[in-house]
Structure 1
Amino acid sequence: MSANGTWNVTVQTPMGAQSGTISVTIEGSAFSGAFTSPMMGTLPVENGQIDGDQLTWTMAMTSPMPMKLDGEATVSGDTMTGKVKAGVFGSMALSGTRA
């Protein structure tokens, strides 16, 4: 199953549910893309890796505060589930569907 494409995602943050999109372009065992949301703007995917149906990546958030985000997700058909680790805020659930 290919994770290529755009995904509508929601992350359950301490500030409430934050919705946006994540784009995924697979390049061998790596992927590039970006997360875009009204609150955080566009965050490029860094270190995107894919292993079967598992995606892992990092992003450098600058707003509302600077922070490194570590993401991981499992793709199953047209759904994505996982989590985003945000420093001292811990892990936050991520869910999504193919756009």
Structure 2
Amino acid sequence: MTPPAALSQALANVNVKCDFVSVPTHPTITKLRVLSRNQQLIRLDFEEGFSGVDPQPMHERIQQALGSIGALVLSDYAKRGADQRPDHDPTRT
């Protein structure tokens, strides 16, 4: 089972509904932790950048969910997927 599928299954097992948007050309980030004497010395992250990825599929799912949910959690770890809302006009306050 892939890491995203395992996460989705674990959350479903505790009744958390997830609607992940996967990008087949961008695999899950691999993290390598170097330990010594039970202490983490360094963590190395191996990942592809997300430039050129269309945010529209994520924006569409957010718009669909907003009318029927009690909470929305967006966590993109500074990958810039949640920088702009599709209905956001930065010139309006």
Shared fold (TM-score, shorter chain, > 0.5):
no
Q: TM-score range by the shorter chain?
A: under 0.3
TM-score (norm 1): 0.22
Larger radius of gyration: 2
Relative contact order higher in (CA < 8 Å, ≥ 6 apart): 1
- Structure number with higher strand proportion: 1
TM-score (norm 2): 0.23
- Structure number with higher helix proportion: 2
